[in-house]
Amino acid sequence: MQANNRFLEKKNQDSDHEGFFSVEEFPQGPVKLGRESAPRFTITGIRASSKAQEPALVVLDAGRHVIQGIVKNRRGDPVVSREVVLTWRHRENAVQGDSWRSTISAANSRFEFAGIGSGQHSFEVKAPGYSTAVIEIDVGLDPTNIVVELEEDS
């Protein structure tokens, strides 16, 4: 698993330098892993069993990519957004990973997210007096310098 050992907080766990960890006395049945601090991660679809000896593959939205951008109106004027939300979802077999990050654009209408993994991500940008914009980006393939153009509410 590409995560650090803070992801699952148990007293009796061992972790290595790559983020793999093992836990003794893990509860049996459905398991939901999560982290509430930023960025928020949740992993669902894992079932723990006393018979299972195979590791569970968990993919997290973590990497070395940086996404930055600017929020403008149709005239090209900077717009300070109330909220820029970046979401990601990965599903492999029954295991699903989700991430959620949020920021506001600075006074110069710029925003940045760091530590992003590869794959399909969705931006949602909200600002008072403007319609919400939703933009899809494939991190690792698409440019990571984003221009978000908001339309004024009518």
Q: Is the pLDDT of residue 57 over 80?
A: no
Which range has the top average pLDDT, 13-17, 22-26, 28-32, 84-88? Answer: 84-88
Structure-model confidence comparison of residues 68 and 92, the more confident one: 68
Q: Is the pLDDT of residue 59 over 70?
A: yes
Q: Residue 79 has which token pair? A: 């717009």
Q: Please give the full DSSP string across 58-118, using - where no structure is assigned.
A: ---S-SSEEEEEEEEETTS-B---SEEEEEEEEEETTEEEEEEEEE---TTSEEEEEEEPS
Structure-model confidence comparison of residues 137 and 37, the more confident one: 137
Q: Is the pLDDT of residue 81 over 90?
A: no
List, in order of start, the domains of the chain with CATH numbers. 65-150 (2.60.40.1120)
